[in-house]
């Protein structure tokens, strides 16, 4: 059971998001997961240049740490995205990773994996960012198991810190259990099927311009 976590805070594991993520990962490890964390504070991931190379050839034209992160996502059974709330959205570091996943998203290549999200905020608004990251994970093809959102001050008080980390650990354990059982989520089925169909239509429509993606869908017998 392999779990890949991506942390989008410039503060790394010492920051607020990193501490909540660590709680989730403790629960996942206890449930038997082998965990790898990619802290974007230590990685270089540039924004997407919209060159379409991934759609045309299956390879990104930018040379940085993204391919290593993508490979770790592909090799994982479970994925966790963790980001601070930056103005009602994810950090720019995390957004760069999401955008660079445009090719894999067209391929629906993460179908069957399980995923969860972690968000922390200074004041409020984590829910919106949790919903955004979970939606992104579903559009990649993952089943989303849940998310944990927190405000930084919850970590200062011993009582609320313990409660928060216990609930994060319980999400980590739930994620591993769902991945192990290959659990499906009927309430996600309609959105999932609609997005899969949308990507299939898109790739078929652009087959001349994006031969790699068309061939991927065709050779997988999905067209």
109 sits in the region (left: phi over 0; alpha: psi -120 to 50; else beta) called: alpha
CB of 86 to ligand FMN, least distance (A): 4
Helices (H), 108-144: 126-140
By the rule CB under 6 A, 93 interacts with ligand FMN: no
Residue from 3, 5, 15, 106 that binds ligand FMN (CB under 6 A)? Answer: 15
Task: Name the residue nearer to ligand FMN (CB basis): 23 or 84.
Answer: 84
Cα(115)–Cα(78) distance, rounded to whole angstroms?
A: 5
How many residues lie near ligand FMN (CB under 6 A)? Answer: 18
Q: Per DSSP, what are the bridge partners of residue 223? A: none
By the rule CB under 6 A, 121 interacts with ligand FMN: yes
Angle at which helix 126-140 crosses helix 186-205, to 10 degrees, equals: 60
By the rule CB under 6 A, 221 interacts with ligand FMN: no
- CB neighbour class for 156 (10 Å; exposed up to 12, middle 13-18, buried from 19): exposed
Q: Choose the stretch contacting ligand FMN; rule: CB under 6 A; options: 8-16, 24-32, 50-58, 70-78.
A: 8-16
Residues 16-75 that bind ligand FMN (CB under 6 A): 16-18
Helices (H), 58-210: 66-75, 92-100, 102-107, 126-140, 158-181, 186-205
Q: Choose the stretch contacting ligand FMN; rule: CB under 6 A; options: 50-58, 82-90, 134-142, 158-166.
A: 82-90
Tell me which residues touch ligand FMN (CB under 6 A). 9, 11, 15-18, 84-88, 120-125, 152
């Amino acid at each position: 059971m392999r779990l890949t976590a991506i942390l989008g805070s410039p503060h790394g594991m010492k920051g607020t998001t990193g501490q909540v993520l660590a709680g989730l990962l403790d629960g996942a490890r206890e449930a038997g997961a082998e965990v790898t964390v990619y802290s974007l504070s230590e990685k270089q991931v540039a924004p997407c240049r919209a060159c379409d190379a991934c759609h045309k050839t299956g390879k990104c034209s930018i040379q940085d740490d993204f391919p290593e992160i993508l490979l770790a996502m592909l090799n994982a059974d479970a994925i966790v995205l963790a980001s601070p709330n930056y103005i009602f959205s994810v950090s720019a570091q995390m957004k760069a990773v999401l955008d660079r996943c445009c090719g894999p998203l067209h391929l629906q290549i993460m179908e069957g994996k399980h995923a969860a999200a972690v968000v922390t905020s200074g004041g409020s608004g984590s829910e919106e960012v949790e919903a955004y990251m979970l939606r992104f994970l579903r559009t990649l093809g993952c089943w989303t198991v849940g998310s944990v959102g927190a405000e930084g001050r919850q970590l200062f008080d011993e009582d609320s810190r313990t409660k928060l980390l216990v609930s994060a650990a319980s999400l980590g354990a739930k994620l591993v259990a769902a991945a192990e059982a290959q659990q499906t989520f009927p309430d996600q089925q309609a959105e999932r099927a609609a997005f899969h169909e949308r990507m299939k239509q898109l790739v078929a429509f652009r087959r001349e311009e994006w031969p790699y993606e068309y061939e991927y869908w065709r050779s997988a017998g999905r067209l």
